[in-house]
Amino acid sequence: MSAHSHSQSSFAEKPDIASWFRRYSEPLHRNPYPFYSYLLEQEPIRFIEENGFWVISRYEDVNRILKDPTFVREHRNAMPGLYEEPPQQVVNEWKPVNDLLDNWMLLRDAPVHTRLRGLVSPAFTPRAMERLRQNIRNIAEHLADEMAEGNEAELISGFAFPLPVIVIAEMLGVPPEDRELFKGWSHTFARILEGGDQPPDFAGQAIGAAEEISVYFRDLIGEHKKAPKEDMISDLIHAKEQADALTEQELIATCVLLLVAGHETTVNLISNTMLALLDHPEQRALLLNQPKLIASTVEEGLRYEGPVQQTSRLAAADYSIGGQTIKQGQFVTVMLGAANRDPAQFQEPDRFLIERTPNRHLAFATGAHFCLGAPLARMEGEIALSVLMQKFPKMHFKDEYPNWRPNMLFRGLGTMQVQL
């Protein structure tokens, strides 16, 4: 085992589950897998009184909950007639944020979810993806050539981050030179989604970011209306004008969702999988020998060190599971990252095996909200890792331990220094 491998030590004492979910802590989250293994073995269905939600970790249970229409996203659907709106002052203050989140398909149920998803999905079909393939390869090769000018590089800022960001910006039709702006906004939204205890100044930052990004897209949509182009913003405007299928606010929110999804996930797929390959030299040698294994390598990267570790739902009725009852209106956190290490589903779950079959991981979730961007993420992951393998077959870590970005929901490295 190399210095970067996760030790699979188990907990001597009961871990403090409530504090795990309250606030990100570097020592706790550096290696979450012993904690997951504790949950899977000892407390697979656990209600945390302090935080007021259930934590579900076994594959079978997570899979079942995500597919079951009893579990919803919207309070008003979980508790029809009973849900109380927050005080008006809070509603007003958070309006810029909620105008966006309330229009994200990710956080809606049918019928709004179905309509919004239907409007965006043509852009993500396998056929639509194939048309992007060569362009993605060109971008990846260009970034790799730039890195190759030195003996060492920082893989996140030099490659893993810019690749998906350039791709989603081009797909949407936003100018790539505004990249630094999106980065800040997108990281703020990643923290809004994370929940938990945030520092007191975070509210101002979140509301400010929501206001700015909304103005940004309103202007950009205005420009696209005057001069339509071949991009998603123009397609969505067309859908809005033809069938009146989308409100202006939904259009803005959808652009923001795609931008955030494009920023916070695929970067982690590329770098987390590269980290696993560097940590497992025999698996890397196998991939170098058999480049055809790239697709299953990406799947194993998604399973082993998934970019999205958890998601949540609300129970719309009392629900029995494993001898316990989740009550109507209660919050449920499903641990995708733990389910993907469940020994009942995966043989030797803590090993990184690029030939693993079957590999029905839940990294993209399942059910109605199954990741819409999955075909894009998979293609970007395959191209990115192939290019890195080809150009830098001897890549290795510089000595420092790669640091994880402080977010409980999204698992990804802040920096990754490598020798080329």
To the nearest 5 percent, what fractions of the chain are helix, strand and coil?
A: 55, 10, 35
> 399 CB contacts (<8 Å, ≥6 apart)?
none
Q: Which one, 249 or 419, has the nearer CB to ligand HEM?
A: 249
Q: Which one, 118 or 204, has the nearer CB to ligand HEM?
A: 118
Least CB distance from residue 149 to ligand HEM, whole Å?
28
- Cβ atoms of 266 and 307 closer than 8 Å: yes
Tokens 């029905």 correspond to what residue?
Answer: 360
Least CB distance from residue 69 to ligand HEM, whole Å?
13
Q: Which one, 341 or 369, has the nearer CB to ligand HEM?
A: 369
Q: Which one, 16 or 130, has the nearer CB to ligand HEM?
A: 130
- Cβ atoms of 51 and 195 closer than 8 Å: no
E strands, 374-412, are: 396-397, 403-404
**Polymer length in residues for the chain:** 420
- DSSP letters along 366-381, please? -GGG--TTHHHHHHHH
Least CB distance from residue 166 to ligand HEM, whole Å?
12
Least CB distance from residue 265 to ligand HEM, whole Å?
3
Q: Which one, 58 or 313, has the nearer CB to ligand HEM?
A: 313
**Which of 314, 264, 332, 234 shows the shortest CA–CA distance to 21?**
332
Q: Which one, 221 or 302, has the nearer CB to ligand HEM?
A: 302
Least CB distance from residue 366 to ligand HEM, whole Å?
8
Burial of 130 (0-12, 13-18, 19+ CB in 10 A): exposed
Q: Which one, 104 or 207, has the nearer CB to ligand HEM?
A: 104
- Cβ atoms of 308 and 336 closer than 8 Å: yes
Tokens 């079909």 correspond to what residue?
Answer: 125
Please name the residue ranges forming H helices in 148-280: 155, 162-172, 179-194, 202-226, 232-243, 248-264, 266-279
Residue nearest to ligand HEM (CB): 373
Q: Which one, 42 or 114, has the nearer CB to ligand HEM?
A: 114
Residues that bind ligand HEM (CB under 6 A): 105-106, 117, 168, 257-258, 261-262, 265-266, 269, 306-308, 311, 363-365, 369, 371-373, 376-377
Least CB distance from residue 360 to ligand HEM, whole Å?
14
Q: Which one, 152 or 382, has the nearer CB to ligand HEM?
A: 382
Least CB distance from residue 376 to ligand HEM, whole Å?
5
Least CB distance from residue 263 to ligand HEM, whole Å?
9
Least CB distance from residue 396 to ligand HEM, whole Å?
24
Q: Which residue type sits at 156?
A: I
**Which of 411, 417, 418, 420 shows the shortest CA–CA distance to 272?**
411
- Cβ atoms of 395 and 278 closer than 8 Å: yes
